Chains A and B, each alone.
Chain A
Amino acid sequence: MVGRFRWAAMFPDEVWEHVFSFLTSDADRNAAALVCRNWNRIERRSRKRVFVGNCYSVAPTVAVRLFPEVRAAVIKGKPHFADFNLVPSDWGGGAEAWVEAMAEGWPNLEELRFKRMVVSDDCLDLIARSFKNFKVLSLVSCDGFSTSGLAAIAANCRNLRELNLRESEVEETCLNWISHFPESCTSLVALDIACLEGEVNASILERLISRCSNIMTLRLNHSVPLERLVGLLQRAPQLMDLGTGKFSARHNPQLFSRLESAIAGCKNLRNLSGFWEPGLTYLPAVYSICEGLTSLNLNYATIQNPELVKLISRCKNLRRLLVMDLIEDSGLVAVASSCKLLQELRVFPSDPYDAAEPVSLTEQGLVAVSAGCPMLHSVLYFCRQMTNAALLTVAKNRPNLTCFRLCIIEPRTPDYVTQEPLDTGFSAIVESCKDLRRLSVSGLLTDLVFKSIGASANYLEMLSIAFAGDGDMGLHYILSGCKNLRKLEIRDCPFGDKPLLQNASKLETMRSLWMSSCSVTLGACRQLARAMPRLNVEVINESGRGPLVAQPDNCPVEKLYIYRTIAGPRTDTPQCVWTI
């Protein structure tokens, strides 16, 4: 250390550990760890939380050894496009190696969060037995396990506070897994089982909720009828986050008023979701708590106008709204005038394939919300038509956008008024929204839009491209620009070998790159792999043309996944995946 700072070297490690404990973000702790060898040693030995964005970027045993005091870990597996069936189901992302290493080296682990990982029942069993103070298990978009594994968790994790299964695919093997929570279990604070397909025993659930007086989050699945929801709400009036079960029942005025008062009794309700198979009769039962809501998720609720708008217009304090396009432009105009605090809006397609009865949701709705909601910074919008003018207006209205994901359902759709590509519109977005972190583009786009993105999107971290561009230059603009790009995912674009090879070193500054149905050849992948030993270049060919090793250089690559790693090529690749 420099002479002037010798006083700092006299501090015992515990003092520095205490100082570092005030650094809450991973980025700050990473920065501190790079200052000097001492700080590196002290920081990593006292680090309590670890985030692994790509489970294959580091070997589990290495991670566990480097950070011995970890209490909370987040591990992510499959690439994002796995959500849309683009990644073969046996690609990888298995959790065994991680769970085994953690069971060995982190006996005091309290929180484990997996996203897009394949978690087996054996893993769940191991988790249940290995961590005596286990508190939080979150499995988001995971699969590979069944309710038997959940039963093991319920039975053995004495201090379980949170069990979250958001959007996971769970096999139903154990019918009454909920009954495996012992009578002594009173610690549950959050339970999200909305994704479960099977029946959940509502009586057992009711008893569980009764004894867990701190329960704040309860998200039910579609099997829980309205009648039972009343009972659950009466036992947990302190709920802040509720996901209803099935939201329809036979016409019954008594049930309506019981439901209405049970909901009104939940004065702390801030998040509302569920509404599975909704009918119209019981919607007014939630009106009383609408004004307190900050988040409303009607993602899976096929409710039409005017009831839909009636519900949302009452939620004057909404920060986050997820809704189907059944809300239509008129509904979004109402949102723009009622929900002035709106920060995040997601509009999903109710009829993504046929458009048999096209819904009246167009670019107008988006423009209305961008004009009326000054705090709007995150948008996901599915629609069937767009204009450059609308995008320009959105860009002008909302320079504070941090996330803009637009999906025009028909690929390569031009500006429907001028028939031009949507280059100018998206360029306006990236030029105006200087803090944009995430962008998804769609519609008819040439290389010009990528020139703008490469030049202007300085804080962009994640970019998704589909059916766009003219040729290699498009990809080159992105890879040679976008200083902070971490994740790039591309499908069905005419991008080839040249931009990849020209920007090879850029790939090591990113977490990952996915390209499918583009114009990349095997030869380029071989070259890339040779030049960049710290990248795993995975080629995925599912059409079974024979072993890739034997194929010539000009063999086209169907799907390509490149990611930086210090763990070398992985050992669990299936037949269709080859790490070059």
Chain B
Amino acid sequence: MGGYCNSPSSSIDSSCDPDLSTSSIFEQRRDLSTELRLGLSLSSSSLQHNSHKEKDPLSDWPPIKPLLRSTLEGKAHQSNSETFFVKVYMEGVPIGRKLDLFAHDGYDDLIKSLRRMFRTTITCSHVSQVPLEKSHVLTYEDEEGDWMMVGDVPWELFLSTVKKLKITRVDKC
């Protein structure tokens, strides 16, 4: 039984594929054509026999329809056109940064990015954490020009009203 041979395009050694019943020449020819057709979906063990590393445009496996195939390929080549960059200032630092809010899926994600960017602990009302003396609080300016604490409203609503971000020291709030 061929259970131990996972690669669909087994090597030229026919003992790896006991299920083949015809001549060895046929085996080789069939293996190669299968290999060629499979393109990228080959397992690493068979790649040594095949230099087709680039995507075969006429790939017929896995069985997905042309419209899905082209949609996914399009995704690979096109960068996500939707971005929403806002300015971020940290109190006491004159040079600000810019951050793409659309690249984040929520407050937790945003806090993580900001912590990485500014190397400080940041809290907002969304994160349940007692603010330490040395930490900062995240605030934002809304459409009306008011400075609010980040985290009170749902993420989608926040995205539609935020104009810029500021990281202020805890003792100022």
A positions within 8 Å CB-CB of B: 83-86, 141, 167, 169, 195, 248-251, 253, 256, 276-277, 279-281, 284, 299-300, 302, 304, 306-307, 348-354, 382, 407, 409-414, 419-421, 444, 446, 466-467, 469-472, 492, 494, 496, 517, 519, 521, 543, 556, 558
Contacts and interface: CB of A to CB of B under 8 A. Distances in A.
B132 interface: no
Nearest to A257: B160
Nearest to B30: A517
B159 A281 contact: yes
A281 B58 contact: no
A382 B62 contact: yes
B45 to A, nearest CB: 12
Chain B interface size range: 35 or more
B19 A469 contact: yes
> Could you tell me the dominant secondary structure of chain A's interface residues?
loop
A30 B8 CA distance: 44
A492 B21 contact: no
A467 B8 contact: yes
B20 A412 contact: no
A444 B160 CA distance: 50
Given A248-B82, A284-B156, A410-B41, A300 B61 contact: no
Contacts of A411: 8, 38, 41, 61
A253 B105 contact: no
A409 B62 CA distance: 6
Contacts of B33: 517, 543, 558
Interface stretch (B63-71, B88-96, B113-121, B165-173): B63-71
Interface of B: 1-3, 5-8, 19-22, 26, 29-30, 33-34, 37-41, 43, 55, 58-69, 71-72, 75, 80-82, 84, 102, 105-106, 143, 156, 159-161
A83 B159 contact: no
A236 B68 CA distance: 29
Nearest to A419: B3
21 contacts: A83-B63, A84-B60, A84-B61, A84-B63, A249-B82, A251-B160, A256-B160, A280-B105, A302-B72, A304-B105, A307-B105, A409-B62, A411-B8, A411-B38, A411-B41, A411-B61, A412-B7, A421-B1, A444-B6, A467-B8, A543-B33
Given A169-B66, A444-B6, A519-B21, 5 more contacts: A84-B64, A84-B65, A85-B66, A410-B6, A556-B29
Contact of A306 (B6, B62, B67, B105): B105
Contact of B65 (A167, A420, A470, A517): A167
Most A Cβ at <10 Å: residue of B7, B39, B60: B60
B43 A350 contact: no
Nearest to B80: A279
Given A86-B60, A496-B21, A195 B161 contact: no
B22 A556 contact: yes
B81 A167 contact: no
A348 B72 CA distance: 11
Nearest to B65: A83
B68 A353 contact: no
A421 B3 CA distance: 7
A251 B22 contact: no
A-B CB proximity, top 7 nearest = A279-B82, A411-B8, A494-B19, A353-B40, A85-B60, A253-B160, A84-B63
B68 A517 contact: no
B66 to A, nearest CB: 7
A299 B66 CA distance: 13
B162 to A, nearest CB: 9
A83 B75 CA distance: 21
A248 B7 CA distance: 41
Contacts of B43: 410
A281 B22 contact: no
Nearest to A251: B84
Contacts of B161: 253
Nearest to A440: B63
A519 B71 CA distance: 35
Nearest to A141: B65
A281 B102 contact: yes
B46 to A, nearest CB: 11
A304 B106 CA distance: 12
Contacts of A84: 60-61, 63-65
Contacts of A471: 19, 21
A251 B72 CA distance: 25
B34 to A, nearest CB: 6
Contacts of B67: 167, 195, 300
B47 to A, nearest CB: 13
B65 A352 contact: no
Nearest to A256: B160
Given A411-B8, A444-B3, A251 B21 contact: no
Given A470-B19, A556-B29, A349 B66 contact: no
Given A300-B71, A421-B3, A519-B22, A492 B102 contact: no
A251 B66 CA distance: 32
Nearest to A420: B3
Nearest to A254: B160
Contact of A353 (B7, B8, B55): B55
